[in-house]
A and B are shown apart, each in its own frame.
Chain A
């Protein structure tokens, strides 16, 4: 809402300095987004007087004038000095008051005024026509001002053009503030000033409006009130200066007198108006037109004023010509078929209160947003319709040369009823924690337009809120008004006592922090990506939908990159690797904790699950003088997952080769499912080279994705204490020659089962392959086994016997040959 300071000051006494009002607005809840100063484009243009007029010695149409510009030009003693200006106009005499642009002025069209010589005669400025000043099309001569005009006054100031406009953000609960009258009332309440609003009333002719037109409202839900007036003999033409100035300050362009008047009334009262050409409506035998407000039919068509053909639905309201052809889309925009033009004689003026709900939906469904719709959406005061119609009619008569027909047609099926609220000021004080006295409460509400009465009980008042404040419908709404005017800043800060509650994270929340801390301590950086992704993400990833529910789709995606909700975090992380590589960052180690969304047919909402995923690409670092750079491999990602699960003390961790069919997105030889007992926690492995290529990554990517919720449930915060061994241990090595197909897990299982509880640890310290020495398809695996008994010192004989048993069992179970013996 653009608030003209000059306009506002005609209704309420304002501080001299607009910035004082801006501060008060900010304090009381009207945000001023910008302060604009108008009239500054008349810099260096002043009122002046022709002292002397002589013919130019070298021209038959130019004049050399001596112009008094008052103190706008002074000599070295500081005394006013007239200027010599060469002028081509013929319409002036000595003694005329005029407008002069001084050196340094810029006229519309970027004409900069400089000292110059015209046919050899010095000229120190320019005497201006109205067109040169951008005020009208008049270029018949220079502007002649009244004879008593003082000289040297800035022209903007002289014309009253200078103004300050406060661009205010009006919150949706304050429809009243979308009008100058509403702003005046609000300002009066803030500044404790009375307001003065004086609206003209139309002088009516004898002819009755009701003989020319009647109005029917089909459904009061669509339109609470419809007021019409008829003005005859309207002439479309330019608007007078005062009207141009006000609608311009309010943010409109001046179009013509008819449009400007309707806009002016809307800006002043908040009531959107529409003017129909009455002659374009169908008339019955008595010469009467019939306006019918009804719901549109599905697929009914109207061409709105902007020339667009619009297809309507039954949820929209239309103004129709006798129930048939729509002539306006109620509250949103007029129709082209009833538009005012130069041949218009009788104007039908509409001032109505349309349903905010229907207008809002209509506007949204048609993507048609207008000043009128914006106001109806926020509710237009039905009680104000008649006043606005009268005001507009009076102005049509005054500005557009029409005559106002007698009477208004006023359909108001369900009149507004005032609501009485209770105001308990003690409760207000308790709830706000502020000593706001009763007197302040009463004054504030009254200045805002409420009627306040004392009741028989002290500190309890009865309050009737005005029709233009639909937001004041409950006691709390009154509190808000009082507190914001009193000043939220002045309320003393306190902190609630923690006497009945305790704070802190839940076990799972604390565990989640441990998960992310651990991943960071393992070298991964936390990343965040969008929850919405391209619809072909899973396909590009070669990931099956199995177990991931149905896809959750956005109805109106903003771009093809964001059309569905993600079902895995991996593509987001792959995209981040791509971003890094494009920026020349080759070593990438990222993790993300985030939601995935599994749709459930038949349910409105999907199942939301939290995953934790990580990716490695490149290496930890470039080679340095004492640390070679080692490219990431499968065991880097596995080590991270193992460390994480160990940190969380999750039991019975296993890694198994999965069903490769389900893992199209991974390297078939480098992928493992991660389990705790029988629960699959997720997977880890190398992303399939084809997939990395799809995501424009030019090196290997190792990744994991785990179900965070499983992990948090299975984590154990408190591990039981284990006795620290005091008895000596015996270490024996074991080198085994086995087939490639024999897994490390298998060998360890066999060793453990052979040795029993006295085998304390198994450490695999070497793997060696040599086709010539060991044979094709063979590998040598060297283990260090530590034996220790809990109850006595293990003798070397006992240890050797156990070791021999292990060798024997391993040989029998896997065909392994013991090497080096």
Chain B
């Protein structure tokens, strides 16, 4: 068999085999079998030295042709096989995208009360207020006296205030107060005492809010907790008017409950503000028509407020002829109830994961 025939034979067989391989590994085997170091084509090329001068160029030309053809066929086949392999891989990797995603640890949730407090803080910080805090265990001076509460006001009774054993005057703290069961130290019943602390330590202008826990001896039931939260607000500046109080609280109510909610100001009494009022917002369920949620009144009580009583200003060293101000107190649990219609406030202090994760 001539070397020509041999080369042609290699070409034929190689191309045939290349066409038949199924994968890249088989293709490589074919490459090695023909074009590898010990491959058939390589062997033929090695044997070229034995050829005559005349034959050598002709055979050389043919051999190069065969090699080029072979390499091209190998490359082409490789591209096809790679494409096939990728297609197969992709096909095999298809997933049921309706399967649930991987369960990482679940994100935690903020407590409803604190998230409302932060929302309130953000509103007031945005209109130039600072956030301050004060002690929970307060003296009767800051909780009552400095807030213009008369010495024998009923709200001071142990029915309405948690008194604490006064560590500064022996075991029986009531010695100094004249009423058994009362002492000079108590759990604050309102955040209003922080108004006084602020006015004592800071000169006007004062624009502040104070969020925090307050305590009253109410048995825990669906509508009451002995520990709940208020946000106190205080503004003292030159030229502050009752209109300023209204404008501020109107904007607040709209920010918290929606732009479509109306407000109503009802005169009321608080010892530390004068004039004082309670603020209602229009019912979000019936929009003022009256329904079960608002007990048919069309209105929901939301906060108490008023112009700072001149006595409170003077007691804190601020001249009421020069400065005026307003103060307000927002019940955080009240806001929570109005927003979510909670059936039972006690859920707020139980730590039930099923409740906490809803907000």
Residues of A at the B interface (CB closer than 8 Å) are: 26-29, 31, 171-174, 315, 356-357, 360-361, 364-365, 377, 430-434, 474, 476-477, 479-480, 483-484, 488-489, 491-496, 498, 500-506, 509, 513, 516, 519-532, 550, 552-556, 558, 562, 565, 572-573, 575-577, 579-580, 583, 585, 587-591, 595, 597, 599-606, 608, 620-621, 624-627
Q: Which residues of B contact A483 (CB under 8 A)?
A: 242, 267, 275
A516 with B130: CB separation less than 8 A = no
Q: Which residues of A contact B357 (CB under 8 A)?
A: 525
Given known pairs A479-B275, A604-B184, the reply for A502 and B128 (CB within 8 Å) is: yes
The A-contacting residues of B in range 216-259, CB under 8 angstroms, are 217, 219, 226-227, 235, 237, 239-244, 246-248, 250-251
Q: Which residues of B contact A364 (CB under 8 A)?
A: 154, 157-159, 179
A503 with B351: CB separation less than 8 A = no
Q: Give the residue name and chain of the A residue nearest to B158 (CB).
A: A556
B139 with A624: CB separation less than 8 A = no
The A-contacting residues of B in range 109-151, CB under 8 angstroms, are 109-111, 113-114, 118, 121, 124-131, 135-139, 150-151
A605 with B139: CB separation less than 8 A = yes
A527 with B111: CB separation less than 8 A = yes
Q: Does B324 contact A (CB under 8 A)?
A: yes
B354 with A504: CB separation less than 8 A = no
Q: Does B38 contact A (CB under 8 A)?
A: no
Given known pairs A433-B242, A501-B205, the reply for A526 and B108 (CB within 8 Å) is: yes
A531 with B213: CB separation less than 8 A = yes
Q: Which residues of A contact B18 (CB under 8 A)?
A: none
Tell me how far the C-beta of A373 lies from the nearest C-beta in chain B, rounded to whole angstroms: 10
B163 with A493: CB separation less than 8 A = no
A-B contact pairs, 14 of them (CB 8 A): A495-B244, A504-B130, A506-B131, A527-B351, A556-B163, A558-B219, A562-B226, A576-B352, A577-B351, A583-B354, A590-B356, A601-B167, A602-B167, A605-B139
B351 with A500: CB separation less than 8 A = no
* Bound Cα distance A348, B126 (Å): 67
Q: Which 8 pairs between the two chains have the least Cβ-Cβ distance?
A: A576-B351, A29-B267, A433-B243, A433-B241, A171-B269, A520-B108, A493-B247, A484-B267
B217 with A605: CB separation less than 8 A = no
Q: Which residues of B contact A556 (CB under 8 A)?
A: 158, 162-163, 181, 217
Q: Does B180 contact A (CB under 8 A)?
A: yes
Q: Does B284 contact A (CB under 8 A)?
A: no
Tell me how far the C-beta of A219 lies from the nearest C-beta in chain B, rounded to whole angstroms: 16
A608 with B135: CB separation less than 8 A = yes
A480 with B274: CB separation less than 8 A = yes
Tell me how far the C-beta of A78 lies from the nearest C-beta in chain B, rounded to whole angstroms: 36
Q: Give the residue name and chain of the B residue nearest to A621 (CB).
A: B103
Given known pairs A500-B205, A516-B110, A575-B351, the reply for A558 and B226 (CB within 8 Å) is: yes
A627 with B103: CB separation less than 8 A = yes
B353 with A431: CB separation less than 8 A = no
* Bound Cα distance A585, B357 (Å): 12
Q: Which residues of A contact B131 (CB under 8 A)?
A: 505-506, 509
B130 with A522: CB separation less than 8 A = no
Given known pairs A357-B152, A555-B183, the reply for A494 and B162 (CB within 8 Å) is: no
Q: Which residues of B contact A600 (CB under 8 A)?
A: 167
Tell me how far the C-beta of A520 lies from the nearest C-beta in chain B, rounded to whole angstroms: 4
B154 with A172: CB separation less than 8 A = yes
Residues of B at the A interface (CB closer than 8 Å) are: 99-100, 102-111, 113-114, 118, 121, 124-131, 135-139, 150-154, 157-159, 162-169, 173-174, 178-185, 187, 205, 207, 213, 215, 217, 219, 226-227, 235, 237, 239-244, 246-248, 250-251, 264-269, 274-277, 307, 309-311, 324, 348-354, 356-357
Tell me how far the C-beta of A131 lies from the nearest C-beta in chain B, rounded to whole angstroms: 38
Given known pairs A434-B242, A493-B247, A500-B205, the reply for A597 and B137 (CB within 8 Å) is: yes
A365 with B108: CB separation less than 8 A = no
Q: Which residues of B contact A493 (CB under 8 A)?
A: 243, 246-247, 250
Tell me how far the C-beta of A463 lies from the nearest C-beta in chain B, rounded to whole angstroms: 16
Beyond A31-B268, A595-B136, 8 additional contacts (C-beta under 8 Å) are A26-B266, A29-B268, A364-B179, A433-B241, A474-B311, A576-B352, A579-B352, A604-B167
Tell me how far the C-beta of B129 lies from the nearest C-beta in chain A, rounded to whole angstroms: 5
From A489, A520, A587, A603, give the contact of B264 (CB < 8 A): A489
A361 with B100: CB separation less than 8 A = no
Q: Which residues of A contact B268 (CB under 8 A)?
A: 29, 31, 171
From A357, A377, A492, A554, give the contact of B151 (CB < 8 A): A357
A174 with B250: CB separation less than 8 A = no
From A523, A576, A625, give the contact of B107 (CB < 8 A): A523
A521 with B137: CB separation less than 8 A = no
Q: Which residues of B contact A583 (CB under 8 A)?
A: 352, 354
* Bound Cα distance A509, B110 (Å): 16
From A171, A432, A496, A580, give the contact of B237 (CB < 8 A): A496
Tell me how far the C-beta of B263 lies from the nearest C-beta in chain A, rounded to whole angstroms: 9
Q: Which residues of B contact A599 (CB under 8 A)?
A: 167
From A315, A433, A604, give the contact of B178 (CB < 8 A): A315
Tell me how far the C-beta of B288 lies from the nearest C-beta in chain A, rounded to whole angstroms: 14
Given known pairs A509-B131, A555-B165, A595-B136, the reply for A432 and B243 (CB within 8 Å) is: yes
Given known pairs A483-B275, A530-B226, the reply for A361 and B178 (CB within 8 Å) is: yes
Given known pairs A432-B241, A555-B165, A604-B139, the reply for A626 and B102 (CB within 8 Å) is: yes
* Bound Cα distance A369, B328 (Å): 31
A526 with B109: CB separation less than 8 A = yes
Given known pairs A489-B264, A496-B237, A524-B108, the reply for A576 and B152 (CB within 8 Å) is: no
A173 with B269: CB separation less than 8 A = yes
Given known pairs A523-B105, A595-B136, the reply for A528 and B111 (CB within 8 Å) is: yes
Q: Give the residue name and chain of the A residue nearest to B177 (CB).
A: A361
* Bound Cα distance A26, B298 (Å): 13
A555 with B164: CB separation less than 8 A = yes
A553 with B164: CB separation less than 8 A = yes
Q: Give the residue name and chain of the A residue nearest to B151 (CB).
A: A357
B266 with A531: CB separation less than 8 A = no
Given known pairs A433-B242, A605-B135, A625-B99, the reply for A480 and B275 (CB within 8 Å) is: yes
Q: Which residues of B contact A494 (CB under 8 A)?
A: 241, 243-244, 246-247
From A477, A505, A597, give the contact of B121 (CB < 8 A): A505
B348 with A28: CB separation less than 8 A = no
A488 with B139: CB separation less than 8 A = no
Q: Give the residue name and chain of the B residue nearest to A26 (CB).
A: B266
Tell me how far the C-beta of B226 lies from the nearest C-beta in chain A, rounded to whole angstroms: 6
A174 with B108: CB separation less than 8 A = no
From B104, B219, B226, B242, give the contact of A491 (CB < 8 A): B242
B154 with A604: CB separation less than 8 A = no
Given known pairs A360-B154, A430-B241, A528-B349, the reply for A521 and B107 (CB within 8 Å) is: yes
* Bound Cα distance A524, B102 (Å): 19
A488 with B351: CB separation less than 8 A = no
Q: Which residues of A contact B246 (CB under 8 A)?
A: 488, 491-494
A474 with B310: CB separation less than 8 A = yes
From B158, B167, B178, B352, give the contact of A603 (CB < 8 A): B167
Q: Give the residue name and chain of the A residue nearest to B182 (CB).
A: A555
Q: Which residues of A contact B114 (CB under 8 A)?
A: 516, 526, 528
A525 with B205: CB separation less than 8 A = no
Tell me how far the C-beta of A227 lies from the nearest C-beta in chain B, rounded to whole angstroms: 24
Q: Which residues of A contact B227 (CB under 8 A)?
A: 530-532
A580 with B353: CB separation less than 8 A = yes
* Bound Cα distance A526, B351 (Å): 8
From B108, B129, B205, B244, give the contact of A591 (CB < 8 A): B108
Q: Give the residue name and chain of the A residue nearest to B185 (CB).
A: A604
Tell me how far the C-beta of A737 lies from the nearest C-beta in chain B, rounded to whole angstroms: 34
From B106, B237, B239, give the contact of A523 (CB < 8 A): B106
Given known pairs A172-B153, A495-B244, A496-B244, the reply for A597 and B136 (CB within 8 Å) is: yes
Given known pairs A498-B128, A504-B125, A526-B356, the reply for A573 and B351 (CB within 8 Å) is: yes
From B99, B137, B179, B184, give the contact of A552 (CB < 8 A): B137
Given known pairs A525-B108, A526-B110, A625-B100, the reply for A495 and B167 (CB within 8 Å) is: no
Q: Give the residue name and chain of the B residue nearest to A588 (CB).
A: B353
